[in-house]
Amino acid sequence: MPLTGTGEIVTAAGTGRGVGAFNVIQLEHAQAIVAGAEAAGSPVVLQISENAVRYHGGLAPVGRAVLAVAAAAAVPTAVHLDHATSAELVREAVELGFSSVMFDASVLDYADNVRATAEVVAHCHAAGVWVEAELGEVGGKDGVHAPGARTDPAEAAAFVTATGVDALAVAVGTSHAMLTRDAALDFELISALREAVPVPLVLHGSSGVADDHLATAVRHGMTKINIATHLNQVFTTAVREVLAADERLVDTRRYLGAGRSAMAEEVTRLLGVLNTAPRGLSVSSL
């Protein structure tokens, strides 16, 4: 199936349905995410973060591999650059064929965030690439959780107008890299943001959110749901179990394959939680 645009998947989701956006670190992750989405019969977004790019020593090797996996998927699949702080990296993703990027200038003050984001949006839109940005920094990217951060609805609406972004990541109580699923979301704020902001909302740090709260967040207006750490936990737990059962095992396919299978099953389950079979976009329609 040809690659699908992130914007197409998110727009088709409409209100009350979530889109699963799952992070890729290595090839097995991409394969697991696609296998899980195929089993669920749901569209999916494969994300490569700036940290993953740094791990691989550059975007092109991992980016081309993930694009190939996505293009071979039997369900609508998009490839997205996540948490890019470098405009140069954004330009490279556009050239490689990514359908969307998330430009993260949230550590800057408001005026500088607007200026930098608007420049990225202009470049990406000229190439037909969908842009996500962040307002109200979501904690945890540097290992420090800041669940107290909140995005102001009026400021968020003004930010979207000033920058022209296609989606907005907002701070509503989550934090990146959480190993427990007990984040306390501000559902009233999510509803207020949904009413004020004219573009889809994105929930970062969703690994720390329990299933029922993820579903509630979607009902209150979140659309794109980013999950990374939780799936890494599932993958790593399966690998540990295989290695613990056979200390003589050295074939990486045996234990990485186990991690891939476990992650695929969890992707399928999470897509069910998010109800990501959006109106107007089915496997058969693309």
Whether residue 119 lies inside any domain: the answer is: yes
In a domain, 261, yes or no: yes
Q: What is the pLDDT of residue 139?
A: 47
- What does the pLDDT average to over 269-275? 91
129-136 mean pLDDT: 89
Q: Residue 67's CB: how many other CB atoms inside 10 A? A: 20
Tell me the mean pLDDT in the region 222-244.
Answer: 95
In a domain, 64, yes or no: yes
**Catalytic option among 82, 104, 166, 186:** 82
**Domain-embedded: residue 1:** no
Cβ proximity of 52 and 279 under 8 Å: no
Of the pLDDT bands very low, low, confident and very high (cuts 50, 70, 90), residue 132 is: very high
Is residue 144 in some structural domain? yes
Model pLDDT for residues 203-221, shown as the tens digit of each residue: 987 777 878 888 989 999 9
Domains contained in the chain, number: 1
Q: Are 80 and 21 in contact (CB under 8 A)?
A: yes
Confidence of residue 180 (pLDDT cuts 50, 70, 90): low
User: Of the ranges 20-24, 61-65, 69-73, 273-277, which one carries the lowest mean pLDDT score?
Assistant: 273-277
For residue 115, what is the domain's CATH number?
Answer: 3.20.20.70
**CB-based contact 158:193 (threshold 8 Å):** no
pLDDT of residue 138: 53
Report yes or no on 102 lying in a domain.
yes
* Rounded distance between C-alpha atoms, residue 124 and residue 226, angstroms: 21
Tens-digit pLDDT profile for residues 73-110 = 999 999 999 999 999 999 999 999 999 999 988 888 88
> Would you say residue 187 lies in a domain?
yes
Q: Tell me the CA distances in angstroms from 42 to 126, 177, 183, 243, 246, one per residue in order.
A: 29, 25, 26, 32, 36
Q: Which residues constitute the domain of residue 250?
A: 6-285
Is 82 part of the annotated catalytic residue set? yes
Q: Which of 181, 178, 238, 176 is nearest to 202 (CA)?
A: 176
Beta-bridge mates of residue 101: 81, 131
- Give the pLDDT confidence score for residue 172 in this predicted structure: 85
Q: Do 178 and 132 form a contact (C-beta atoms < 8 A)?
A: no
Rounded to an integer, the average pLDDT of 166-173 is: 88
Nearest Cα neighbor of 228 from 57, 55, 86, 71 is 55
